[in-house]
Every structure is written in C-alpha cells, then in structure tokens.
Amino acid sequence: MRLLFSLFIILPVLEMWVLIEVGSVIGALPTVGLVLLTAVIGAALLKQQGLSTLTRAQARLDSGQVPASEILEGLMLAVGGALLLTPGFITDVIGFCCLLPFTRKAMAAQVLRSGVVQVGGAGFSTMQGHTRPPRGGQPPGGRPRGGQPGDGGEHVTIEGEYKKEE
C-alpha cells in the first residue's frame, strides 16, 4: 500500500520535472505537441495490438487451451494504453513497453514463469465425474490435472443445447 501511495506522489513530481526540463530545451509548444503525438501513436498501437491479442486468445480457446499469456497481455495493453494517455514522458516509456509486442510478450512470459499469476484451468468434466484434459494434450506446465475434489483440479460445468440431426 505504501508503494502505491509513494508511486502516486513521486511519479507525478518526476513527470512534471521531466516536462519542464524538456520544455526548457525544445520549447513549450513542441513539448505539448510531443505529448499529444505519443497519445495518438499509443491509441493506434493499442487498437492494433489489442485486436491481434484478441485473435490469438480466440485461437487458443478454440484449440482447447487456456489463453493465460493472452489474458495477461490484454491487461498489460490496458495499462499501457492508460499510461500513454497520461501526460508525461516517463509514463509514455512504460506505456510503450506494455504496448510493443516484443517487450510485452517478454514481460508477460516473465510474470507467468515467476508464478505471480497461475494458470488454473482444469480438464472438462463429464456428467459421470470422469475428466479429460483440454484438447491439445496436457494443460500448460505439463502436469495433468485431476477432476476429483481435493486433488487440485476443478469441475467445469458447460451448459447448452443440442439438436440431433439424422
């Protein structure tokens, strides 16, 4: 909690200092123009990368896999977009790191490897209690998950309608 409080106090002060320094070197109007330009570029990049990430997440869902990295990347895209709309150059650098594919994917992979975020999807459970893994083999991490209570797996209920065609 103290970290967030400090961040909300220190970051705006640093941003103002950097804006004043840049403004004293290149002038006030070019500085404002640069801030607006980063916001416009960020919005365009957010739209393009957001659609790309959504498409990859849908493809993983269609193949029966948990789109953990895509979900994390989507969160990073939202944070990056918000940071790019915030006036300032420090937040712009962090925002672009969240929006550019190579840095975003590297950061997401690092977060998933560190265990800060865990993938929790289990196999699909049938009415008889039997569990089968998602299409595509074992879940991420290589450990098969069970479907019985207390063994770390979870039961998934899928509701829907079907029509038998003859």
Q: Do 129 and 108 share a structural domain?
A: no
Instruction: State which residues form the domain around 141.
Output: 120-159
CA-to-CA distance for 83 and 55, rounded, in angstroms?
Answer: 24
Single out the residue of 137, 67, 77 nearest to residue 107, CA to CA. Answer: 77
pTM higher than the cut 0.75: no
Q: Do 108 and 29 share a structural domain?
A: yes
Q: Do 89 and 28 share a structural domain?
A: yes
Q: Do 107 and 29 share a structural domain?
A: yes
Q: Does residue 128 surpass a pLDDT of 50?
A: no
Single out the residue of 134, 125, 130, 127 nearest to residue 154, CA to CA. Answer: 125
Q: How many domains does the chain have?
A: 2
Q: Do 81 and 67 share a structural domain?
A: yes
pLDDT at position 76 is 93
Q: Do 49 and 25 share a structural domain?
A: yes
pLDDT class for 46, splitting at 50, 70, 90? very high
| SS3 at position 124 | strand
Whether 6 maps to a domain, the answer reads no
Q: Do 92 and 126 share a structural domain?
A: no
Q: Do 132 and 74 share a structural domain?
A: no
pLDDT class for 125, splitting at 50, 70, 90? very low
Whether 1 maps to a domain, the answer reads no
Q: Do 130 and 55 share a structural domain?
A: no
Mean pLDDT of the chain: 80
